[in-house]
Amino acid sequence: MGEEASEREVLDRLERRALEHLMAYGSCAQSSLKALQDEFGLESAETLKAATAMPGVALRGDTCGAVIGPVMALGLAFGRDRPEDTQALMLTLQLASRFCRSFEEELGSCSCAGVQERLFGRSFNLTDPQQIQEFAAAGAAERCGVPVAAAVRIAGRLIMEARRQ
């Protein structure tokens, strides 16, 4: 029971941090990555900076930033730093694949446009100033917290599980 409670506490803390970071950064990719970096000691300012253009991959509706940030965190936690480390490669790919499947099950898609469809009933072209205003008016600041919270909880579970093994 104690391990379950502590895991739940970690996941709750991750979610709170991610939502705080979302308000500060306004970026699903950076907020989810930063929360996971803070919780699991994966600090890398350069990696966080690299996530700047990742929401929907440059706002094009491609891969959701709430997917990219945690996948980057999985790479920081378990990825390889030498080409010959195929064990780290396989573990990281396996975890990232599980993450994506779980995210899709929960939010219907790993694409920003698909997640928007689920959350808003439509997707927005975030490169169009008019649609950016519509997105904001539809409650983007609050609703985008849903995939961010789900993403850090899924990734947090996977990291804790993999570290126990």
pLDDT tens-digit series, residues 38-72: 999 998 889 999 999 999 999 999 999 999 999 99
- Angstrom CA distances, 143 to 103, 116, 118, 146, stand at 16, 9, 10, 6
Q: Strand ranges (DSSP E) for the chain?
A: none
| The model scores a pTM over 0.85 | yes
* 146 pLDDT higher than 90: yes
Name which of 165, 6, 154 is nearest 73 in CA terms.
154
Instruction: Calculate the average pLDDT of the chain.
Output: 95
CA distances to 59, 68, 86, 110, 113 from 62, rounded to whole Å, are 7, 10, 28, 8, 7
Assess whether pLDDT exceeds 90 at residue 5.
no
> Distance between CA 90 and CA 135 in Å, rounded?
38
* Mean pLDDT value of segment 137-152: 96
Quote the percentage of the chain above a pLDDT of 70.
Answer: 97
Least Cα distance to 76 among 21, 19, 38, 22 occurs for 38
